[in-house]
Amino acid sequence: MQKYDGHLIHESYDDEGIIEIVEQKGVRSLHFGSQAKQSSMSLAEPDKLHLDYVRAMTSWLLFKENLDDEALLVGLGGGSLTKHLLQHFENCHLKVIEYRKDVVKIARSFFDLPLDPKLKIIVDDGGEYIKQRYETYREQYSLVFIDAFDHEGVAPSVRSEAFFDACKALLKKDGILIMNLWGGTSNPEFQQISLWLGRVFNWQTLFLPVPDRSNIIALAFNDYTPIYSIKDLREKALTLEQQYQIEFPTFLRNLKKHNASTFNQVINK
């Protein structure tokens, strides 16, 4: 019985299990032995963000003007978000922590991840790396992205309050943590992680559900003072949509809709 719709173009194994690449209707996707797509790339438009949840992870742009310093990413996958940041923010420097060495090779070989002097990739456990080094890199990063999954769900090493405490220490005063969560708001894992984020970040958190998907993107603001009114944000969302061809007005509407109790802690009325 065929496991996937589409053509399997690569299959390999490492200590963590299977790595598969499937092509279907001009889209190349990375799988870790299940139907869940870890990353996808349109062969016709390789620089565009194909997956809905990855586009939603760009919603930080509503709250910051630019990325002209450093960002840390935990979890590489096919490298879609990393490529996007390199392409659009010429002054940024990125550090990516990826647990699986073979995933880095796959991103280079099959998903057009470039060799770039602004990009440093470290093969390590992202959760342990951050917890062991947060004092060394205290207040170094404007953005921290967490997209760390195994074949079962969110990677165990990033599921603790101690991990989020360390992430907060890494962030600059106006920094933002952006995390991909899975399973919907009724999922116990989501509920636990959202509680930890709230406690660590003083409840300055927003959650962006991805329509018709089980992904929810968490935004956690470090010592943040609201600087935008909703009117300003609506105007900014339209400008960003034109600039990036990404649905920022929809992100803003859904953020307001799904964060009724916390939205005004982050946004000026």
147 and 253 together in one domain: yes
Q: What is the pLDDT of residues 238-266, one digit of tens each?
A: 999 999 999 999 999 999 999 988 887 77
Planar angle of CA 103, 183, 13, nearest 5 degrees: 25
28 and 108 together in one domain: no
Note the pLDDT of residue 226.
Answer: 67
Single-letter code of the amino acid located at 226: P
36 and 58 together in one domain: no
47 within a domain of the structure (yes/no): no
Q: Which are the contacts of 260, defined by CB distance < 8 A and separation ≥ 6? A: none
Q: Is the pLDDT of residue 1 over 60?
A: no
Number of compact structural domains in the chain = 2
Q: What is the pLDDT of residues 143-179, one digit of tens each?
A: 999 999 766 778 889 999 999 999 999 999 999 999 9
83 and 195 together in one domain: yes
Note the pLDDT of residue 229.
Answer: 86
Range of the structural domain that residue 26 is part of: 7-42
56 within a domain of the structure (yes/no): yes
170 and 100 together in one domain: yes
165 within a domain of the structure (yes/no): yes
26 and 126 together in one domain: no
153 within a domain of the structure (yes/no): yes
216 within a domain of the structure (yes/no): yes
79 and 123 together in one domain: yes
Single-letter code of the amino acid located at 245: Q
Cα separation, 40 vs 50, in Å, equals: 6
Closest-CA residue to 220 (of 239, 201, 235): 201
118 and 215 together in one domain: yes
Q: DSSP per residue over 185-227, as a string?
A: TT-HHHHHHHHHHHHHTTT-EEEEEPTTSSEEEEEEESS----
Quick one: average pLDDT of 97-123?
97
8 - beta bridge partners?
22
- Whether residue 203 contacts residue 265, with contact meaning beta carbons closer than 8 Å, is answered with yes
20 and 95 together in one domain: no
Which CATH number goes with the domain that contains 72? 3.40.50.150
Tokens of 90: 């010429």
